[in-house]
Structure 1
């Protein structure tokens, strides 16, 4: 078996930015070299892809704090060589039991804000990483957390991207969030590139979890019981208590104009569990493509594959105006369905069979005008194509639409090992720009609950204990049941738009992996963002500057509102592929 890993950045030289990295036993692709070092150390120590993946998630929570944190989320796909199947790890947050639409409306909120403590749900990362270790790992929590603890305790030299996040939040640190200022502005100043930065409180938090595991083993617990003790220490012990104490007593200003403390209570933590679930999937030209369920945006990629498989893409030729127009119009249709139909399956029926059926896709594809760009948001009716049409929710409607704001980035963790295990995670949330540091713990809570609506009758309406539909999305591909590829990219609402273009570049257009990563991309902001303030730009097509001018002019003539963008900077694509 040959394993290859790739990561694309914005700098493009010829037909590739860098050489393809090949290995015989394992490979990984991540967003930071310190994170990669942690993963390789774990693989060399006898860990498998899941151990390495978990260790790198924890390390990324330290060194990629602008993109993800220990208080955030980590939806993950795993191929288990032992079980010979793909599983989805539901590492999503859940809303506080005190979080009701009426609570926000009574206080004058139009939307759930994107910052402060109000959009915080229960942190998902600790539960998810423990669950993955319990079910699929070979090492203990103390072993996989060692690298993250060393980085937090001993520090690491900060880079320009990290400092960009600090500078963006500097005023808020100084004027509103003194605990964040104490940590990120040592000596009252912004560090310089190359200065060593430490997070001793986070190191202590992680060490406390390691000690909980060690104490359980000393009492005679087996490996599974010791890992369960790690979960309980976070969610049913002093860490949850400290989070709830701090957010309950600390009022924070938010971008909706409020000044409120948080809503989380200890019972929210005690009830929380990460879960293993069946992923959603479709077959496309001989490959099975897997995504997490409709609590993520992931199924839009599957729907778009269904829409596009009826077209002969190679005859249109790669990145011609005809191809790009078809691609953009199919994205609009898939994301319109996401906006109306996706939600937490525990709270609303999501018609999986209907949404992914070829018959429904054919009906939807017929809406595409090959000569004109649509300006409408056009969700479909998948229920006649579903196994349970009687489960249609009553009066399901769309939320309000307004012009779109900017997106956030995140990071990614992709690993494959010699046994054929594969790990594909997109950790995010809990970053330091949108919420204050909890000083005793060195972590930040996520703000993912901004992705709920306050409007009754919407699939994504806020409810206690409900999951928001997150933007986070990873991909995993098998061929005839054998693992082949894990990939994904950051980029908020753009994640699956970029991932799909990479996949089609390889499967339909026969590109090598690095060439497929480096090819210029388009994306649309036609549909409402999952992020506050839930805005949209009808018919907006974002086109990278590296496209020839005649391509962009052709798209304009078709009715697209073209915006020329710099290459997808900061949003790195990460791919690991197994060659049979």
Structure 2
């Protein structure tokens, strides 16, 4: 069976070349990464340079006070995917008892009380030390330049600031000072600067000035970030009570001890085989294995059930997504997770058998011997007091868009390949720290205060993150690095890309451009943790006939517009020919790929 073919027109070409390819959610980050490749750096040097630019140009989507998940291979070991773990744990003082003493029944979505220990910068510097080739000052010169000298502001940054302007004026004056200079929101295209962040990076680089080797200089910068002036400012910033998304005021609990104990790390990837390909994801401290479960469920279906452009395919995919994400909620966390069982063909077959011709409106985790599934409170609506713009979800059930994440992929001519999804520390997360030029993140909102959950808030444990980049391998070589912002939607949007490229024969750009969809019939990972039973959000371009057919099957469909869902980018390498490819999302006119 041949998939429904896309129109020959794409919004841009799939780039092809043999030298190097970069793709990200902002053209300036892509350009910086590609500039590093052009100057002789490898994919890891390039990814780190682009990532720090993302801190500056997409401050509403990520920041130095946030977190990341990455997956990569080196040219020396092209068949061994490695996870870059940049997700910090809950601070020692972040206990359910403390939150309940603060009269909270959910971890807030905004405010420093929801901050995990920030690990993104330590992870980037770890990667640069071990696998890059450049000095830290050269890698950071792009971000420092944009922060110090300015860059044109995105319209979406202004939209985000406008959504929280009242909060900034009334409760977060340091954020108002940084993001609303002179009391006004900068206009789209206006040159904006973050000189405080430029100074922060310059001081961190300077901390390694007396070290005798490149590695020692980078380690000195890591030490300064965790124990020096940055750490001291972070801890001091949480001491003052401030408004949270709960509509109440609280202090944070982050301490110097929490920061001193932080270490980013490498981990083995979790993998499954799908149609002759190996798909590599994070462990279950992230949601990555949910994509593997989706693929395992669908692997037992005929091709005509896997085409996202048809009624049958869209329905089957949505139902598989619900089942895998229910298991994510029931079993995933920074704990003992029965992945061998959850990813087994036998278990996938039992889950596949639950798919009928009707849309399920139930929360249906599977049964795992020796493990009781956690069943969270299923909230269908929630009055949002206090702060707005608090979560990450790209699309609410209404179709309204708000906060998000960013992403970067790089492949070089030697075969190094990396995909990273940085997030957290959005400008709307918590009050800006004036001397640093950024704020803390709010990743703890992805934990539960109820006991007995695999993701119950626990000091020293990582919150179950939604950050979930993907690496695809074939015959022992990495061939694709991809990912997307989008909270709970990240793996759902990546699933349709993989089905269209691995089964349907689409080119990378065709797969990214194609209309997509996702389910909202699962408890959200972000405050206020609501769900919509049977909910499906679709792009109008899926087609009137397909949308109407989904509604007849019982899906509660929300139309999100023509070009609204999916933020994917990807880089590709053919090991046999050395040909490289890249593609990026056209939605929002922001993502870009470059290469030659």
Matched, 1:174 2:140: no
Which residue among 547, 550, 560 is the counterpart of 2:542?
Answer: 547
- Identify the range of structure 1 (288-297 vs 544-553) with the bigger mean alpha-carbon deviation: 544-553
Contact kept, 8 Å, 2:449 with 2:457, in 1: the verdict is yes
Q: How far does residue 548 in structure 1 lie from its aligned partner after superposition?
A: 2.0
Q: Distance in 1 between matches of 2:531 and 2:189?
A: 39
Q: How far does residue 315 in structure 1 lie from its aligned partner after superposition?
A: 6.5
With normalisation by structure 2, the TM-score equals: 0.90
Which runs of structure 2 are paired with 1:321-470 in the superposition (5 Å)? 321-344=311-334, 348-369=335-356, 371-383=357-369, 392=370, 395-403=372-380, 406=396, 408-470=403-465
The aligned residue for residue 574 of structure 1 is: 569
The aligned residue for residue 96 of structure 1 is: 91
- Identify the range of structure 1 (160-169 vs 281-290) with the bigger mean alpha-carbon deviation: 160-169
Which residue among 149, 158, 165 is the counterpart of 1:163?
Answer: 158
The aligned residue for residue 45 of structure 1 is: 39
| DSSP-derived class of the 1:214 partner | coil
Going from structure 1 to structure 2, the CA distance change for 1:313 and 1:349 (only over 3 Å counts) comes to: same
Q: How far does residue 174 in structure 1 lie from its aligned partner after superposition?
A: 1.4
Which residue among 244, 248, 263 is the counterpart of 1:254?
Answer: 244
The aligned residue for residue 518 of structure 2 is: 523
Runs of 4+ residues over 4 Å off in structure 1: 315-318
Q: How far does residue 484 in structure 1 lie from its aligned partner after superposition?
A: 0.5
Q: Distance in 2 between matches of 1:523 and 1:97?
A: 36
Q: How far does residue 119 in structure 1 lie from its aligned partner after superposition?
A: 0.3
Going from structure 1 to structure 2, the CA distance change for 1:413 and 1:316 (only over 3 Å counts) comes to: closer
The aligned residue for residue 513 of structure 1 is: 508
Which residue among 274, 282, 288 is the counterpart of 1:284?
Answer: 274
Matched, 1:241 2:232: yes
Q: How far does residue 319 in structure 1 lie from its aligned partner after superposition?
A: 2.0
The aligned residue for residue 588 of structure 2 is: none
| DSSP-derived class of the 2:147 partner | helix
Which residue among 117, 123, 136 is the counterpart of 1:141?
Answer: 136
Q: How far does residue 397 in structure 1 lie from its aligned partner after superposition?
A: 2.1
Matched, 1:493 2:488: yes
| DSSP-derived class of the 2:290 partner | helix
Q: Distance in 2 between matches of 1:512 and 1:191?
A: 39
| DSSP-derived class of the 1:282 partner | strand
Matched, 1:153 2:155: no
Q: How far does residue 123 in structure 1 lie from its aligned partner after superposition?
A: 1.0
1:470-510 Cα offsets, whole Å, 9 max, x none, are 11110111111112001111111111100110110111111
Matched, 1:503 2:498: yes
1:104-125 Cα offsets, whole Å, 9 max, x none, are 1122101010001110111111
Contact kept, 8 Å, 1:410 with 1:571, in 2: the verdict is no
The aligned residue for residue 265 of structure 1 is: 255
1:340-361 Cα offsets, whole Å, 9 max, x none, are 10001xxx21112111111110
Q: How far does residue 318 in structure 1 lie from its aligned partner after superposition?
A: 4.9
Contact kept, 8 Å, 2:71 with 2:84, in 1: the verdict is yes
| DSSP-derived class of the 1:138 partner | coil
1:136-173 Cα offsets, whole Å, 9 max, x none, are 11112212111111111111011212211121121112
Structure 2: 5+ residue stretches without partners: 1-5, 383-395, 397-401, 577-596
Q: How far does residue 557 in structure 1 lie from its aligned partner after superposition?
A: 1.4
Q: How far does residue 62 in structure 1 lie from its aligned partner after superposition?
A: 0.7
The aligned residue for residue 587 of structure 2 is: none
| DSSP-derived class of the 1:226 partner | helix
1:4-45 Cα offsets, whole Å, 9 max, x none, are xxxxxxxx9863111222221100111112112211221122
The aligned residue for residue 185 of structure 2 is: 190
Contact kept, 8 Å, 1:539 with 1:561, in 2: the verdict is yes
Contact kept, 8 Å, 2:308 with 2:496, in 1: the verdict is no
Q: Distance in 1 between matches of 2:432 and 2:563?
A: 29
Contact kept, 8 Å, 1:75 with 1:91, in 2: the verdict is yes
Q: Distance in 2 between matches of 1:567 and 1:419?
A: 39
Q: How far does residue 574 in structure 1 lie from its aligned partner after superposition?
A: 0.5
Q: Distance in 2 between matches of 1:318 and 1:560?
A: 15
Going from structure 1 to structure 2, the CA distance change for 1:260 and 1:184 (only over 3 Å counts) comes to: same
| DSSP-derived class of the 1:289 partner | strand
Contact kept, 8 Å, 1:214 with 1:226, in 2: the verdict is yes
Q: Distance in 1 between matches of 2:374 and 2:506?
A: 41
Q: Distance in 1 between matches of 2:381 and 2:73?
A: 36
Contact kept, 8 Å, 1:142 with 1:213, in 2: the verdict is no
Q: How far does residue 314 in structure 1 lie from its aligned partner after superposition?
A: 3.5
Contact kept, 8 Å, 1:404 with 1:525, in 2: the verdict is no
Q: Distance in 2 between matches of 1:573 and 1:39?
A: 17
Q: Distance in 1 between matches of 2:454 and 2:267?
A: 20
Q: How far does residue 572 in structure 1 lie from its aligned partner after superposition?
A: 2.2
CA RMSD across the alignment: 1.6
Structure 1: 5+ residue stretches without partners: 1-11, 384-391
**How many residue pairs end up in the alignment?**
551
Q: How far does residue 378 in structure 1 lie from its aligned partner after superposition?
A: 0.9
